[in-house]
Structure 1
Amino acid sequence: MSVSKRTVATLIKIDSQPSVTMSNALLRAGHGLTLAEKRVIACAISKLDSRRQLPIGEILTTKITAIEYAEIAGCNMRTAYEALQEASKNLFERKITFFNNDLNHQNDSSSKLVQMRWVGEIHYQEGEGWVEIYWWYKIIPFLTGLKRQFTTYKLHQAHALRSVYSWRLMELLMRFHDTKTAEYDIDFFSNAMDATEKQRSNFNNIRRRIIEPAVNELTSKGGWDIKWTPIKSGRRVVKLRFEFKKYNHILKK
C-alpha cells in the first residue's frame, strides 16, 4: 500500500459527550479484545470523524492518553498507565473476526470466517503515558466515510462496565435502539462475543458465562431493562431475541 499522507484523528463530540460509531458489520464481528483493550479501541474510535471519507493511501492515527483512559475506566492514573502499556503490547496481535457473508450484507452464518487486524502499528511512549494507534488500512472503511448501516452510542454508557461481554451486548442492542427488539443468529452472537469452542458446544455455557452476567451488569449499572429468549429449532438454540429499554441515568460504579 502506497502512503501519501498522515492524518491525526480529532475528537468528535455530540452534546459534549464522545460518541463511538462503527459499521454494523464491524459491530457484529468478533473483536477479540480484553476489557482494557476494548476501552482503548473505543476511546480511539470516539476520536474519529465517522462521516469523513479518507483519501486513498492516507494513514489514520489516533493518540490516547492515560488521563483519557482513566476517565473511561474510572480508575487512578497508575492503573491507567499500566493498562495502556499492557494494551500496547497486545493490540497489534488482536484480530477482528467477520463472517464473510456479513461483510457482503448477506444473512448466512454458514459462510467462512475472515480475520482482520485492528492496527498496523502501535506506539507506547514510556514516561509520558500515551499510546498512538496506526489503524490497519482495511479497517478504516468500517470506521470512517459511513453513510448507512452504522451504529452510534455515547462512550460514557460503558463507563461503569467491568466485563467486555456486557460492553459487547450493549453494542449489539444499541443497533436496535429504535425498535427495542434485537434478534441474532446464535452463531453470529457467539462470534460477536468471542465465545470459546467449549462455550459454543453447549448453550448452557453461553447462557451462564456470557448472557446472564452481561444482562445482570447492564441492568444493575447501566439502567437497562432486558428480557431475552432463546429460540429453538428442535432441541438446538438457533437464535436469541432481546427485548429491552434503556433508562437515562448516571451509571453506577
Structure 2
Amino acid sequence: MDNERPSVPSVLDNKVAMRNVVARAAHGLSLTEKRIVMAAISKLDSRLPRAHYLPPERRRLRVHASEYAELAGVDQKLAYRDLMAACERLFHRYVRFEVETPRGLKEIKRRWIESVTYHHGEGWCEVTIASEILRHLVELRERFLVYRLRQAEGLRSLYSWRLLEFLLSHSKGEKGSVMVAVEDLKKALEIPPKYRWYDVRRKVIEPAARELALKDGWEICWEIAEKRGKAVAAIRFTWSRSPQRDLLRES
C-alpha cells in the first residue's frame, strides 16, 4: 500500500444524528460495522432536507482507515483489516423496526446501505446510505438525538454504544430518566433472548455503564421498577454526564 496518502481531518468531532425510533430499534451491526456506519452517517448534515441527498452521489460517504483507527483506538494495520472484512458484510445489514398494530406485531427491515466499495490500494471504504433509512437521518426537527463520535471513541463493547444511544433517545440534554420493559431493552440492544434479568444486569448493563463512566463521564443508575411474580419485568434508568469530561478534552 502507498504510505504517502493525504492526511484526513479528525472524524471524532463529527456529530451523529438519528431519529429516536432508530436509536431504539435493533441495528443488526457488529462493533466494527457500527464504527464504519456511524462514521459515514456523521458526514451527513442532519439539518438539510432529504431531497438534497436523493442523488446517490451525495449520500456516498467515504471512511478512511485512519478515521476508523482513530475512532476504534487501533493501529492503522488493524484498521485496514477491519475495514476490508466489514465491507464484505455491510451490504446485508439492516435496521429492524417493530410496530404494534390492531392485528398484531408488524416487523419492518430497512437496509443501512445501498452499495459498498473497498479500495485495497488506498485503504478506504465507501458506502451509499440507503434512501429508505435516510429519512431517519436528515431533515431532523424533533424526536431525534445527537452526539459526537468522540463519545464513542475507543469503546470495546457494542452494548456500551447501544446503551448510550438508547438513553440519549430518552434524554433532554445529557440527563434523564426512563422506565423500560426488560424485553424491550433486550430487543433494542440485541441481547440474546435467553438472557434473564441476572444475565442482562451482569453481562450487559453493569459493564456498559462502567465503560461509559470511564470513557465519557456518564453516571448511569438503574433500579427494578416492576416485577411479574419473581421475574423482573421493567427497570428504571437515571443518568447524567459530567461536563468536566469536555473541559478535560479541551485542556
Contact 1:160 1:222 in 2 (8 A): no
Q: Is the 8 A contact 1:165 1:193 kept in 2?
A: yes
Corresponding residue to 1:58 among 55, 59, 66: 55
Alpha-carbon contact 1:180-1:245 (below 8 Å) kept: yes
Deviation at 1:57, TM superposition (A): 4.6
Counterpart residue identity of residue 235, structure 2: L
Residue 158 of structure 2 corresponds to 164
1:42-92 alpha-carbon deviations (Å, 9 max, x no partner): 111110011111328522211111111111111111011111111101111
Distance in 1 separating the partners of 2:79 and 2:50: 31
Instruction: Give the alignment partner of residue 240 of structure 1, picking from 216, 235, 244.
Output: 235
Is 1:49 aligned to 2:49, yes or no?
no
Match status 1:184 vs 2:180:
yes
Amino acid in the other structure paired with 1:191: K
Conservation of the 8 A alpha-carbon contact between 1:97 and 1:191 = no
Q: In structure 2, what is the Cα distance between the partners aligned to 1:125 and 1:82? A: 12
Structure 2 gaps, min length 5: 1-8
Q: TM-score, normalising length from structure 2?
A: 0.84
| Aligned position for 1:5 | none
Matches within 5 A, 1:196-235: 196-199=192-195, 202-235=196-229
Distance of 2:210 and 2:107 partners within structure 1: 30
Partner of 2:108, secondary structure, is: strand
Letter in structure 1 aligned against 2:209: V
Q: How far off its partner does 1:153 sit?
A: 0.6
In 1, Cα distance between equivalents of 2:172 and 2:151: 14
SS in 2 for 1:112: strand
Structure 1 gaps of 5+ residues are 1-10
Shift of 1:189: 1.3
Cα distance in 2, alignment partners of residues 240 and 90 from structure 1: 34
8 Å CA contact retained: 2:94, 2:109? yes
Match of 1:193 among 180, 189, 211: 189
- Counterpart of 1:7? none
Alignment of 1:44-193 (within 5 A): 44-55=40-51, 57-59=54-56, 60-101=59-100, 111-175=105-169, 176-178=171-173, 179-193=175-189
Aligned AA for 1:84?
L
Q: What SS does structure 2 have at the residue aligned with 1:161? A: coil
Mapped to 2, the partners of 1:50 and 1:188 lie a distance apart of: 27
Cα RMSD of the aligned pairs, angstroms, is 2.3
Deviations 1:98-125 (A, max 9, x none): 1124xxxx9x9x7333222111111111
Q: Which residue of 1 aligns with 2:6?
A: none
> 8 Å contact 1:24–1:150 — kept in the other structure?
yes
Deviation at 1:154, TM superposition (A): 1.0
Aligned to 1:38: 34
Amino acid of the residue matched to residue 99 of structure 1? Answer: E
TM-score (norm 1): 0.83
Amino acid at match of 1:91: L
Identical-pair percentage = 35
What SS does structure 2 have at the residue aligned with 1:51?
A: coil
